[in-house]
Structure 1
């Protein structure tokens, strides 16, 4: 299960910090875009719950597995590695867990970067903050891929 091909990201990459905490320093999401992203995360990923991140800076909203166990072989975010599949920061950027093929797509198309502590046991990539409705659609696609990786399940289609 890999995510659909992403379009290339337009414009220059945002500046990010080189160390922990790993933050996006330029090109934040407009507040209404971040609000839409948090609302989508809170309602469109069955069997999950949102809450304060266990690892990120204050204000980060995380998605946690709630009703499903972590899929066999999936490595999620520290500290537990089996519960938090991602979080959105106050600037709109996200840290999330993805399989290697999806990471490669994200990096190749300019949508994000690896976390400074990235390793086999720290499977964390940054998705740059969505700036527009079109970029919000990309964030949904990447979050959906993280969800499928974490749960081993397809997300049920949203009802109108």
Structure 2
């Protein structure tokens, strides 16, 4: 999988908490943008189901593989590493599993950062909350890369965001 080329993220990086739970503290998603993101994820990522995250704040909504094993070699979120691949926080930011080969490109893009447990071998990065429609399109590209890593499949055509 080749990670998509992402446009420059405007403005300063948001402030985030230094520990678990790792949350974004400013520059959060407007309610309408977050709602649109959740609708898109529901429509464009078949073979997944929503549930309460097994690792995040209770207000987060997590996407799990719907009873199918992950793609060969994919390491998803703890505790099991084989079912939860993304979750959306109430602030609109996300944690997701990406192909380790894509980490450098993602982290250098300015659209996110390492999870506080990343350097302990946890395959989780934070995608900053989309603040508008243009940023929602970028978020969809990153989430699509996470989905493809987790499932080995490309999201539905509803992902034509960029």
Q: TM-score band (shorter)?
A: over 0.9
TM-score normalised over the length of structure 1: 0.94
Matching residue of 1:143? 143
1:104 corresponds in structure 2 to 104
What's the counterpart of residue 131 of structure 1? 131
In the TM superposition, residue 106 of structure 1 has moved relative to its aligned partner by 1.7
Equivalent pair of 1:51/1:63 in contact (CA under 8 Å): yes
Residue 122 of structure 2 aligns with which residue? 122
- The list of structure 1 runs, each at least 4 consecutive aligned residues, that deviate by more than 3 angstroms after superposition, is none
Residue 2 of structure 1: SS of its match in structure 2?
A: coil
> Any idea what SS the aligned residue of 2:157 has?
coil
Q: 2 CA distance for matches of 1:43 and 1:159?
A: 9
Equivalent positions of 1:1-160 (< 5 A) are: 1-119=1-119, 121-158=121-158
Deviation at 1:80, TM superposition (A): 1.2
Q: Distance in 2 between matches of 1:110 and 1:23?
A: 17
* RMSD of aligned residue pairs (Cα, Å): 1.6
Distance in 2 separating the partners of 1:158 and 1:26: 29
Q: Distance in 2 between matches of 1:2 and 1:109?
A: 14
2:141 is paired with a residue whose SS is helix
Change (3 A) 1:159 1:7: closer
* Separation in 2, partners of 1:33, 1:159: 16
How does the TM-score come out when normalised to structure 2? 0.93
Cα 1:82–1:121 change in 2 (3 A) is farther
The alignment covers a number of residue pairs equal to: 160
Shift of 1:152: 1.1
Query: How far, CA to CA, are the matches of 1:145 and 1:45 in structure 2?
Result: 11
